[in-house]
Structure 1
Amino acid sequence: MLDTQLNSQTFKLEWIQAIRRTLWIFIKSYYEHRNVDQSDDFFLMEQKINSRVDVFLDEYFISYSKYKDSLLKQQKELVDKLSVPIIPINESISILPIIGSVDSYRAEIIEERVLSEVGISRIETLIMDLSGMANMESNVVIEIMKIIDSISLMGCKTVITGIRKEIVQDIAKSGITFDQAKTLATLKQALHEYIIQ
Structure 2
Amino acid sequence: MPFRIRPYRPGDLDALYDICLLTGDSGQDASGLYEDPKLLGHVYAAAYGIFQPEFAFVVDDELGVAGYVIGALDSRAFEATLEREWWPNLREQYPRPTKPKEDWTPDDRIINLLYGRSAGDEALLDAYPSHLHIDLLPRAQGGGNGRKLMHTLFDALARAGSPGVHLGVGARNTRAVGFYEHIGFERLAEKPGSIVFGMKLPFDAAR
Give yes or no for TM over 0.5.
no
Q: Which has the higher helix share?
A: 1
Question: TM-score if structure 2 supplies the norm length?
Answer: 0.29
Q: Which has the higher strand share?
A: 2
Larger radius of gyration: 1
